[in-house]
Amino acid sequence: MTEQEVIELIDSSLAEEFELDRADMTPDANIYEDLGLDSLDTVDMVIVLEGAFDFKIREEESVRAIRTLGDIHQFVLQKVVEHS
């Protein structure tokens, strides 16, 4: 998958799960303040990403540090490289 395809899959998966408006999903969008997610959504986010990319996410500290959609892109891109 290309980087752009990975980002597209992340955004489409999150948009479907959390009913997000794609127009709001810019890389610098804060997932809590701009996209309206809350701390309990973190688990759902992990589950959705695991399902979309078929890998396990166990890096708790990295997940907790995520603040923006761009952070999610970078986190997943790194995981994809590790698993390729």
Partner 1 sequence: MSGLSESCKTTEVDGCWTLPVILMNIWCYGMMLFWTLLCIMVFPFVLGLCKIVLRWPVDRLMRWYIWIYGRGWLLLMSPFVHFRREQMQHVKPGQPALFVVNHLSFFDTYCMGLLPVYDIIFAVRAWPFRMFWYSQFMRLARYMNVEDSSWFETMENCKQAFVNSGAVLFFPEGSRSRTGELQRFYSGGFKAAIDAGVPLIPLVIDGTDILLPPGRKQLRPCRIKLRALEPIDTGDFSGTDGPLRLRKLAKERMAKALVEMRADRKDR
CB 13 within 8 A of CB 51: yes
Question: 30-46 burial, b if ≥16 CB within 10 A, otherwise e?
Answer: ebeeebebeeebbeebb
3-state secondary structure of 29: coil
Does residue 1 interact with partner 1 by CB under 8 A? no
Segment interacting with partner 1, rule: CB under 8 A, options 23-31, 41-49, 66-74, 76-84 = 41-49
Q: Of 3-11, 20-28, 46-54, 68-76, which segment contacts partner 1 by CB under 8 A?
A: 46-54
Chain positions contacting partner 1, by CB under 8 A: 19, 38-44, 46-48, 50-51, 54, 56, 60, 64
